[in-house]
Amino acid sequence: MNVPTIRGIAAGVKRFMAVDSDNTELLRAQLNALSRLIPLLYFILVANAWVMALTFWGKAPDWLSLYVAMALSAVCAFRLVQWWRRKGVAVTDRQAVRELRRTNKISAVLGVLFPAWAIALFPYGDAYAQSYVGTFVTFAMLSSMLCLIHLRSAAVIVALTVSIPFAAFYASTGIPTLIGTAINLLLVTVGVVIVILIQYRDFTRMVEAQKRTEMLGNENLRVANLDSLTDLPNRRAFFAHLEQTLDVAKAGRARLALGIIDLDGFKPINDLYGHAVGDRLLVAVAERLATLCPSDTFFVSRLGGDEFAYVVANAPDNDALVSQGQAIVEMLRAPFPLPDVTVQVSGSVGIAVYPEMAGDADLLFERADYALYHGKGMKRGGAILFTADHEAQINNDARIEQVLKGADFEQELSVVFQPIVDTRSQATIGFEALARWRSPTLGQVSPGQFIPVAERTGMIGMLTRPLLRKALAAAAKWPEGIRLSFNLSAYDLSSPESALAIVAIIENCPFDSRLLDLEITETAFTHDFGQVQRSIEMLRLLGCGISLDDFGTGYSSLSRLHALPLTKIKIDRSFVTGLDKSPASFKIVKSLLALSRDMGLDCVIEGVETGGEVAALRRLGGLMVQGYFYSAPIREEEVLPYLAGPVERRRAS
């Protein structure tokens, strides 16, 4: 059994009486509670002292009754004012510790002075006055202990300094009533000390509990602002930070930039390797982006999916911002070695700057988003700054949208036809129908402008139907065997209704549907893949061919393309331009041709403009081509004369 040593007991007492300087929350709670009760205590003490002084006035010398009362009142009043002024004022931990220790000391001093004064007055009183001395001391002590209940050490100091010496003094008088009072005083003191210890324990527990609740609250707040997958700040935190830094920028007339980062090629990785790999890739991307975060001017977060965004406070000039965006793009291009596979993606960044391009958070975001998705046409994989040109483009699109809404499509839309030529025989084997819109208010608008607007606003179906009818009606008059290619939008295939409307038009037209090729781009698969697949299968049942347009510009995985009943691919113009001069383009077209052969698909090469390109394609064995070299799109009434014309007129080389 452990026998407590003197030193152990002393250490325990010291701990018991000490102010816990490490427990910040407790210190503050104590100071807070004391500052409410101690002014009351001093008021009670002063009132008590004056009742005492008046009781002995005329009996004891004035210096002892009045002047001491005055002196004690002055000390009390001084401390009362000090505490009063502290109410609601923030203090440091060290100040709090100092104040609590001072309270302990002053409790000891007053705990000695008050009973000593009472004992000094005692001899001058009659029996009543002498028994009043006990009442005075008891009242003063109990009220002090109660008001000091939140500082256990001070309450106990008062109990010890007052009760023991005074009880000893009272007992020493030998008067039985006073001896009884002394015993009573000691018992009451013990009782009150026990009550205070219990109360103090509950008080510290309550402070502890409050501290835990607060910590839990902070943790909840942290979790609510964090993306659970990547641990980056989430969308909510991003916009909160954006608003906050924007306010600072506004106040300080500073520039602020917002960048949105989109991963190109994330979806195929997710589809091919599964979500677990996709998630790991996102975590790895976040880790790379986080390395850009050391300064407090750069704040990066994950908005959701494969979209990340950042805010640059005190933004540098536009060139530096684009370089920074470019650096992010470069960083994302490096391969990601994940546990099971190594994958590669690329990123695009859209940037908008306050105050030049937008004055508030929403517009800033909208414009960075615009720069990201429309900035360089459909070219991806770079950092693009929102510019005045984009603003003009937005206004232009808004105007197109407005006019499109009131347009008479039957009247204003027409189709032109661009020949598709077999390079071996120089024979035209078909035509691609291309939309033309002549608006009474805007004049001729290119499809590159109005088709995206119609797609974005959901109006495309209303354009597709009259265009398809017109194209089929024209093609029905062509000689036997000439094929027709027609462009469909993703939207046309992404609901059963719109797909059925297209089927109905094809069925109601005398043109042989087996000679019809419907062109779709890879963007169609970013919608509802299952529905697009069903729509395509339905069209295949009519005998129509399905061509994959702009092949090579998207990011669809090959496994995905295999899942579709495609009949043709069209190699995008961007690979063909200058392919006779650029070995890189030559290689790409070569491998795309090989790929299409492996997949058992026909291949059309678009945008052939020069004899050199045709010659190079012949060497590669590319059979079907389309482009200005043979013919620009021609009007419906020009098709039959074109077909009847000599082969040489079609610029055969």
Q: For binding to ligand C2E (CB under 6 A), which residues are involved?
A: 418, 434-435, 446-448, 451, 467, 487-489, 549-550, 573, 607-609, 627-628, 633
Phi first, then psi, for residue 53 (nearest 5°) are: -60, -45
Instruction: Choose the one of Ca ion, ligand C2E, none that binds residue 264, judging by a C-beta under 5 to 8 angstroms depending on kind.
Output: none
User: How far from chain centre, in Å, is Cα 188?
Assistant: 62
Whole-angstrom CA distances from 645 to 110, 130, 579 are 122, 139, 29
Q: Is 519 in the site for Ca ion (CB under 5 A)?
A: yes
Sign of CA dihedral 493, 496, 497, 499: positive
Among ligand C2E, Ca ion, none, the one that 579 touches (CB under a kind-dependent 5 to 8 A) is none
What, of Ca ion, ligand C2E, none, does residue 609 touch, CB below 5 to 8 Å by kind? ligand C2E
Asked, as a colleague might, if the bond just before 447 is cis with ω within 30 of 0, I would say no
158 binds, among Ca ion, ligand C2E, none (CB under 5 to 8 A by kind): none
Q: Please tell me whether residue 48 binds Ca ion under the rule CB under 5 A.
A: no
C-beta of 264 vs 492, nearer to ligand C2E: 492
Write down the least CB distance from residue 543 to ligand C2E, Å. 21
Nearer to ligand C2E, 84 or 628 (CB): 628
Q: In whole angstroms, how large is the CA radius of gyration of the chain? A: 45
Whole-number Å distance between alpha carbons of 326 and 516 = 44
Strands 443-445 and 516-520: unpaired
- Residue 356, CA atoms < 13 Å, CB-side half-sphere: 17
Whose Cβ is closer to Ca ion: residue 184's or residue 577's? 577
Closest distance of CB 477 from ligand C2E, Å:
19
Cα 199 off chain centre by? 46
Residues in contact with Ca ion, counted by CB under 5 A, come to a total of 5
Residue 114 and residue 162 in contact, taking contact as beta carbons nearer than 8 Å: yes
CB 79 within 8 Å of CB 86: no
Of the two residues 550 and 636, which places its CB atom closer to ligand C2E in the complex?
Answer: 550
Minimum Å gap between C-beta 454 and ligand C2E is: 8
- For residues 35 and 418, which CB has a smaller minimum distance to ligand C2E in the complex? 418
Among 161, 153, 150, smallest CA distance to 17 is for 153
Minimum CB distance to ligand C2E, residue 429 (Å)? 16
In the three-class reduction of DSSP (H, G, I as helix; E, B as strand; rest coil), residue 399 is classed as: helix
Q: Return the number of the residue (157 or 488) whose C-beta is nearest ligand C2E.
A: 488
Given Ca ion, ligand C2E, none, residue 227, with its beta carbon under 5 to 8 Å by kind, binds none
Q: Which stretch binds Ca ion (CB under 5 A): 240-248, 377-385, 535-543, 606-614?
A: 606-614
- State the binding partner of 55 from ligand C2E, Ca ion, none, CB within 5 to 8 A by kind: none
The Cα–Cα gap between 577 and 592 comes to 15
State the nearest-atom distance from the C-beta of 498 to ligand C2E, in Å: 12
The β-bridge partners of 517 are 485, 545
Burial status of residue 19 (CB atoms within 10 A of its CB: 0-12, 13-18, 19 or more): buried
**Under the criterion CB under 5 A, does residue 517 sit at the interface with Ca ion?**
no
Minimum Å distance from CB 252 to Ca ion?
Answer: 49
* Among 183-191, 259-267, 450-458, 484-492, the segment contacting Ca ion (CB under 5 A): 484-492
- Partner interacting with residue 418 (select from ligand C2E, Ca ion, none; CB below 5-8 Å by kind): ligand C2E
Nearest to Ca ion of 606, 636 (CB atom): 606
Tell me if 364 sits within 8 A of 354, measured CB to CB. Answer: yes
- Report in angstroms how near the CB of residue 583 gets to ligand C2E at its nearest: 21
Residues paired with 346 in a beta bridge: 264
Taking the complex as a whole, how short is the minimal distance between the CB of residue 292 and ligand C2E, in angstroms?
Answer: 37
CB burial string 323-345: b at 16+ within 10 A, e below:
ebbeebbeebeeebebeeeebeb
Rounded distance, CA 308 to CA 578, Å? Answer: 36
Q: Which is nearer to ligand C2E, 355 or 552 (CB)?
A: 552
**Residues numbered 541-600 forming contacts with Ca ion, rule: CB under 5 A:** 549-550
> Looking at beta carbons only, is 310 or 431 nearer to Ca ion?
431
Q: Which is nearer to ligand C2E, 147 or 416 (CB)?
A: 416
Residue 480, Cβ density class (10 Å: 0-12 exposed, 13-18 middle, ≥19 buried): exposed
Closer of 336 and 478 to ligand C2E (Cβ) = 478
DSSP string, 625-643: E-STTT---EEHHHHHHHH
Cβ at position 628, least distance to ligand C2E in Å: 4
Enumerate residues 417-446 that contact Ca ion by CB under 5 A: none
CA distance 445 to 436: 7
Contact 447, 421 (CB under 8 A): no
Please report how close the Cβ of residue 423 comes to ligand C2E at its closest, in angstroms. Answer: 14
Cβ of residue 256: shortest distance to ligand C2E, in angstroms?
37
Q: What are phi and psi of 250, to 5 degrees?
A: -65, -45
Catalog residues that contact Ca ion under the rule CB under 5 A: 487, 519, 549-550, 606
